[in-house]
């Protein structure tokens, strides 16, 4: 296999395609019965994921040519792709909100903020808060094997960031649920416990764990309970009932993406205490 094919950009593109496809598929699976299927919307996440995954290795110490780097990059790509998409929806996009039970644009107490400049200002404050959290975490010393509980706490912190945003959006109309609020920090902390074996970078660990937490929670919500309407469409009519059957065609693809990530994750954990062979050696069967 040529060196060009094994350069970081190729596995980075693969990671981005996997992360974007995973997110796009569960998004389509939950929303298509209410919104229909959009090729542009589906491939938006795939292309954005690829762009994010190519850019991230220049920002964080992650090598996608190794199994552990591949795994960490997937989590980071996942969370950043989701953050960019949702930030755009909430603070920038103008859309008729009457089709939703829970507004998808920035709202206070369940009431949409109509002024675009106020929404933009709120979005910049939110983005600044995320950057501040990243900087604070970045200021920590690199983790060691003896700081496993710190790693778990960092994962919980990433999940808490997600839980706070979800509570702000959903609680005014759905009510506040302690279980739902604690779910993201708890699952992210569990993923951080595994990622702590693969990376010493506190930012990559905290937000990478959040990426895996989002993937886990959305997989459960969308595929274990496929007929339950998403919260944002609660009480709204199913406008495209044919999609309830058509969307099943994407399940094998979703399982293939998930299986690929789980396989590389297992390889990374297996080799965590050894020489950590490159992704090239795994592809070559060595």
Residue with tokens 């937000």: 207
Q: What is the largest CA-CA distance in the chain?
A: 59
Domain for residue 4, yes or no? no
- Supply the pTM of this predicted model: 0.88
Domain for residue 14, yes or no? yes
Domain for residue 100, yes or no? yes
Q: Indicate the Cα dihedral angle 252, 256, 262, 268, nearest 10°.
A: 180
Instruction: Give the whole-angstrom CA distance, residue 221 versus residue 216.
Output: 9
Which is nearest to 78 in space by CA: 197, 171, 191?
Answer: 191
Tokens of 76: 């980071």
- Burial tier of 16 (Cβ tally within 10 Å: 0-12, 13-18, 19+): buried
Domain for residue 136, yes or no? yes
Count up the domains in the chain and report the number: 1
Instruction: Give the whole-angstrom CA distance, residue 38 versus residue 43.
Output: 9
Tokens of 145: 């094997």
Domain for residue 229, yes or no? yes
Domain for residue 82, yes or no? yes
Instruction: Give the whole-angstrom CA distance, residue 85 versus residue 176.
Output: 25
Show pLDDT as tens, one digit a residue, over the chain (286 residues). Answer: 334 445 788 999 999 999 999 999 999 999 999 999 999 999 999 999 999 999 998 888 888 988 989 999 999 999 999 999 999 999 998 888 888 888 888 888 888 888 999 999 999 999 998 899 888 888 776 666 556 677 788 888 878 878 888 778 877 777 777 777 888 889 988 999 889 888 888 888 889 999 999 999 999 887 877 778 888 888 888 999 999 999 999 999 999 999 999 999 998 988 776 654 443 333 333 3
Domain for residue 151, yes or no? yes
Domain for residue 2, yes or no? no
Which domain does 233 fall in, by range? 9-283
């Amino acid at each position: 296999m040529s060196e060009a094919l094994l350069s970081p950009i190729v596995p980075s593109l693969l990671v981005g395609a996997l992360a974007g496809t995973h997110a796009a598929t569960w998004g389509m699976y939950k929303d298509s019965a209410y919104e229909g299927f959009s090729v542009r919307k589906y491939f938006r996440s795939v292309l954005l994921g690829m762009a994010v995954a190519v850019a991230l290795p220049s920002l964080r110490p992650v090598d996608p040519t190794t199994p552990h780097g591949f795994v960490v990059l997937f989590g980071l790509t996942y969370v950043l792709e989701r953050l960019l998409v949702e930030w755009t929806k909430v603070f920038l996009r103008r859309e008729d909100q009457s089709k939703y039970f829970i507004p998808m644009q920035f709202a206070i107490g369940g009431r949409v903020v109509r002024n675009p400049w106020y929404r933009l200002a709120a979005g910049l404050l939110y983005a600044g808060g995320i950057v501040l959290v990243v900087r604070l975490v970045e200021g920590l010393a690199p983790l060691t094997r003896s700081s496993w509980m710190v790693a778990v706490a960092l994962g919980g912190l990433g999940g808490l960031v997600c839980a706070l945003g979800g509570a702000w959006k959903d609680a005014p109309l759905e009510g506040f649920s302690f279980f739902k609020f604690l779910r993201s920090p708890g699952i992210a902390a569990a993923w951080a416990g595994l990622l702590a074996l693969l990376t010493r970078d506190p930012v990559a660990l905290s937000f990478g764990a959040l990426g895996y937490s989002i993937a886990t929670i959305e997989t459960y919500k969308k595929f274990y309970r496929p007929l339950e309407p998403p919260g944002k469409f609660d009480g709204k009519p199913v406008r495209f009932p044919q999609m309830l059957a058509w969307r099943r065609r994407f399940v094998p693809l979703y399982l293939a993406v998930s299986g690929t990530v789980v396989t590389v994750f297992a390889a990374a954990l297996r080799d965590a205490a050894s020489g950590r062979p490159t992704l090239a050696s795994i592809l070559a069967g060595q």
